[in-house]
């Protein structure tokens, strides 16, 4: 009976490399989407209403 760490097969190693690559790609996609969302929120928050009626109707829609 063997004790200690098991030796990974080539297929297990390739699967691990593939999974890491996929995780990195997802991380990049999430980073880009988070940046775009933050930019959109900033743009929306910087837009000032043109009149008092628009100000109240806009704030009602957001909440």
pTM of the complete model beyond 0.85 = no
Q: Between 53 and 9, where is the model more confident? A: 9
Count how many domains the chain has: 1
DSSP letter for 1, please.
-
Give the span between the Cα atoms of 31 and 13, in whole angstroms. 27
Assess if residue 24 is contained within a domain. yes
H-type alpha helices, 1-63: 10-46, 52-62
Nearest to 16 by CA among 24, 5, 26: 24
Assess if residue 21 is contained within a domain. yes
Tens of pLDDT, residues 19-39: 999 999 999 999 999 988 888
Domain of 29 in residue numbering reads as: 13-47
Tens of pLDDT, residues 1-11: 567 677 889 99
Q: Are 58 and 49 in contact (CB under 8 A)?
A: yes
DSSP letter for 46, please.
H
The pLDDT score that the predictor gives to residue 38 is 84
């Amino acid at each position: 009976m063997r004790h200690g760490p098991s030796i990974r097969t080539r297929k297990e190693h390739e699967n691990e490399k593939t999974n890491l690559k996929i995780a990195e790609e997802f991380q990049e996609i999430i980073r880009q989407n988070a940046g775009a969302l933050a930019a959109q929120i900033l743009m929306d928050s910087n837009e000032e209403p043109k009149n008092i009626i628009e100000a109240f109707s806009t704030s009602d829609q957001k909440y």
